[in-house]
Amino acid sequence: MSLKHVLTTCIYCGCGCGLYLTENDGVLTGAYPSVKHPVSKGSLCVKGWNSHEFVNHMDRLTHPLIREKGSFRKATWEEAIALIAKRFKGFMKESGSDSLAFLSSAKTTNEENFLMMKLARAVFKTNNIDHCARLCHASTVAGLAATFGSGAMTNSINEFEEADCFFITGSDTTAQHPLIGSRIINSVLNRSAKLIIADPRKIELSKYATVNLRQKNGTDVAWINGMMHVIIKEGLEDKEYIKERTEGYEQLQELVKKYTPEYVEALTTIPKEDLIKAARIYATTKKAMIVYAMGITQHTTGVDNVKSLANLAMLTGHVGFPSAGVNPLRGQNNVQGACDLGALSNVYSGYQSVTDENSRLKFEKAWNVNGLPGNVGLTVTEIISALGEGKVRGLYIMGENPMISDPDQNHVRKCLEKAEFLVVQDIFMTDTAVFADVILPGASFAEKDGTFTNTERRCERVRKAVNPPGEAKADWEILCEVARAGGYTGMSYKHPSEIMEEIRTLTPIYGGMSYERLDPYGLQWPCPTLEHPGTPYLHKDKFSKGKGTFMPRPFLEPKEPTDEEFNFILSTGRIYWHWHTRTLTERTSTLEREAPAPYVEIHPEDAAELGIRNKEKVRVISRRGQIEIQALITEKVVRKSCFIPFHYREAAANVLTINAVDPIAKIPEYKVCAVKVEKI
Ligand SMILES: Nc1nc2c(c(=O)[nH]1)N[C@H]1C(S)=C(S)[C@@H](COP(=O)(O)OP(=O)(O)OC[C@H]3O[C@@H](n4cnc5c(=O)[nH]c(N)nc54)[C@H](O)[C@@H]3O)O[C@H]1N2
Ligand SMILES: Nc1nc2c(c(=O)[nH]1)N[C@H]1C(S)=C(S)[C@@H](COP(=O)(O)OP(=O)(O)OC[C@H]3O[C@@H](n4cnc5c(=O)[nH]c(N)nc54)[C@H](O)[C@@H]3O)O[C@H]1N2
Ligand code: SF4
Ligand SMILES: [Mo]
């Protein structure tokens, strides 16, 4: 008997902690933190410590399954792959390539995301490929690319240890990015760093805050413009920085004129004294970091929100230095990587546009194909709707669970029911997989080699510790088999390191990332050559696009404001213990024990008015559906608003949410819709 210790990267959040998996006799027995790893430094959150448990679970998919006469039967790999190739080729012939669509996965490796987009584009000739970043940081990718030239976190996680001011908005950091949250608390307690929080809900960090702005949900552009109004009025802007490094300042000055603290208070409920205080602290602290996540991005004005934060940072000269910048915290373990590797409807790997002829020619040559499509493809929610309309006839989903994670579940169910041919490749039987025609069993993160890229752009190794169960195979191997069955000979690799060699030659920001160099703790992009040391912070001396561009935006209301009947604002999000659609965490005993059931947070005065007691079941109703759910009476939420974690199928928040999207980023408005709450 001998215990093996395998250094790898956590499967859960974008912090990208380094951890060791322990293996004994072919079974995973535990996980513990790497002490030398730059992010984990000897710590993990509870999900990391328990990340081995679901891998061993008896519910794992172990064989390919094919639907026959309404139920699933075991199939061989040859049968399943041949069926997929035959149906997909058939649709292509009858209805054209854009009758196919592919959902890739931020849970899988960089190499697998690269192959998924190669499969969609080179083999099946469609740009209908997307993944959960669309539901998450699509607003960031669009908003920061337009203002700064790069849609990624500007700084590194360890720079949080040196910052003097954190301005956190729409991020429940200690719950969702625990190893970043703890650095923030340390800086506040040990170094007296200032902490400004702008969040409608009370979060764990609120109790450490210098200023708490509790804005009305969906009013972010208004108060950010208000802060800029105060900064300009008080002469706190960085005039030299604006002149040297930016363009478009006059338009910004003009637009923010009307956002006086009084006007902003009327729109957002933020007391004007607090807005002024926050503006002064942020503008006058040099090492100031803006930190944000879904509270900013998941709106029909998501891109406007992001642009407004970028404007604020440029106005005060707080970008392009260590511990100063704009930091969108990326959520999934590899959502940064899935975007970098081109699992998006408009770009190849490295954000090279599909509409640019030179990029197309470059990839055609490398992949030895003709006629790569030049039209931008459909995005996640568009793909699901097109499936319902019969415009998409074949859909291939790898490692996503839209039945629980997409907005407006009744709509999603109808579309999945109508699917002509659906392939789901996952490690468990999901709420989406039950609609599939073919189910393919994938290997989990502990059962394959590859890389993940974390939120600070650090590409790091994932290493195989055990064999996959039954006949399950690594996603990259499955994708190669589908490509070959589809008649394409350019997708054969012996090991993921060979896929990375192809990625390196086609993707300038990953140019220097060979597997040898990624040992032991990875490299941060841009890393263009084999000699380049990687880049801890972006926009040093100049922005990626040259001059930073101010993009002033006026405040617009959310799509579905409250009215007399639907008089509560519903906001949805997550909790510390669970992961998204719960496929992994409901199979991890410690996590499930701590948070076994869904709930809706309601303010005590609203509960009293409705005659609702704590833990009583209530009905929450929107224009799209209704759920019955336990009430949690708490002052965490403000009056006439409620919050539901979206993890639980038993009372799925997405039955209620609205499928309204940002016009540019196509991200759904998960953070605001109108509901009513009823006593049962
Ligand atoms: N434990 C755990 N951790 C996770 C995840 C998980 O499922 N579980 N998921 C990962 C993923 S993919 C992501 S994207 C991240 C998300 O991480 P976060 O964005 O931190 O998580 P959320 O709970 O979605 O929302 C964050 C905050 O937005 C606030 N908010 C709501 N409405 C508004 C608004 O109108 N304006 C502003 N400014 N704020 C608002 C909410 O009150 C909440 O505190 O977490 C990652 N980490
Ligand atoms: N109401 C509401 N809805 C939301 C949000 C919200 O705030 N509110 N947030 C949105 C956001 S930010 C996100 S990121 C999405 C997340 O939405 P999804 O990506 O759909 O959620 P996950 O549960 O993470 O799904 C990942 C799937 O991958 C599978 N998996 C894990 N490892 C592997 C592997 O190695 N191979 C394969 N093939 N499969 C694997 C898991 O079992 C799971 O089924 O949800 C969005 N939905
Ligand atoms: S902080 Fe994130 S990466 Fe680190 S152990 Fe927890 S879930 Fe894993
Ligand atoms: Mo996300």
Tokens representing 420?
């002509």
> What is the structure's pLDDT at 3?
84
Q: In the predicted model, what is the mean pLDDT of residues 301-325?
A: 98
Residue 444's Cβ-count burial label (10 Å; 0-12, 13-18, 19+) is buried
| pLDDT at position 2 over 80 | no
Q: Does the pTM of the predicted model rise above 0.85?
A: yes
> What is the structure's pLDDT at 152?
92
> What is the structure's pLDDT at 60?
98
Q: In the predicted model, what is the mean pLDDT of residues 493-509?
A: 98
Q: In the predicted model, what is the mean pLDDT of residues 484-513?
A: 97
Q: In the predicted model, what is the mean pLDDT of residues 236-250?
A: 98
Ligand 2 binding pocket (C-beta < 6 A) is 105, 107-108, 132, 135-136, 294, 298, 331-332, 398-402, 405, 425-428, 430, 442, 444-445, 475, 572-573, 580-581, 583, 646, 653-654, 657, 670
Tokens representing 286?
């040099």
pLDDT band, very low/low/confident/very high, at 1 (cuts 50, 70, 90): low
pLDDT band, very low/low/confident/very high, at 552 (cuts 50, 70, 90): very high
* Spacing, Cα 74 to ligand 3 middle (Å): 36
Closest CA to 492 of 115, 78, 117: 115
| pLDDT at position 237 over 60 | yes
User: CB atoms < 10 A from the CB of 639, how many?
Assistant: 12
Share of the chain above pLDDT 90, in %: 99
Question: What is the atom index within ligand 2 of the atom nearest the CA of 106?
Answer: 19
The maximal CA–CA distance of the chain, rounded, in angstroms, is 72
Angle at 523 between CA 521 and CA 529, to 5 degrees: 140
Contacts of 96 (CB under 8 A, 6+ apart): none
Contacts of 616 (CB under 8 A, 6+ apart): 630, 631, 679, 680
The pLDDT tens digits for 317-357 are 999 999 999 999 999 999 999 999 999 999 999 999 999 99
CA distance 567 to 589: 38
316-340 core/surface letters (b: 16 or more CB in 10 A; e: else): bbbbbbebbbbbbbbbbbbbbbbbb
Contacts of 476 (CB under 8 A, 6+ apart): 109, 111, 112, 115, 448, 450, 493, 496, 499
CA distance 503 to 340: 10
213 three-class SS: strand
Please tell me the residue having the least CA distance from ligand 1 atom 17.
176
The pLDDT tens digits for 67-92 are 999 899 999 999 999 999 999 999 99
Q: Which among 167, 574, 648 is the best mutation to test ligand 1's pocket, defined by most ligand atoms within 8 Å of the CB?
A: 574
Instruction: Find out whether 238 and 325 touch, Cβ atoms under 8 Å.
Output: no
Q: Is the dihedral of CA 361, 363, 366, 370 positive or negative?
A: negative
Q: Which strand ranges, in their side-by-side order, compose the sheet holding 18-24?
A: 4-9, 18-24, 27-33
| Per-residue 3-state assignment (H helix, E strand, C coil) for 140-189 | HHHHHHHHCCCCCCCCCHHHHHCCCEEEEECCCHHHHCHHHHHHHHHHHH
The pLDDT tens digits for 412-422 are 999 999 999 99
Helix orientation angle between 272-284 and 220-233, rounded to the nearest 10 degrees: 60
Question: What is the atom index within ligand 1 of the atom nearest the CA of 201?
Answer: 42
Q: In the predicted model, what is the mean pLDDT of residues 176-203?
A: 97
Domains and CATH numbers, the chain: 65-135+333-524 (3.40.50.740), 139-329 (3.40.228.10), 568-679 (2.40.40.20)
The pLDDT tens digits for 98-129 are 999 999 999 999 999 999 999 999 999 999 99
325 three-class SS: strand
CA distance 116 to 103: 8
Tokens representing 309?
């934060």
Closest CA to 338 of 102, 574, 39, 117: 117
Please tell me the residue having the least CA distance from ligand 3 atom 8.
48
* Identity of residue 341: L
Tokens representing 385?
């709707």
CA distance 196 to 137: 22
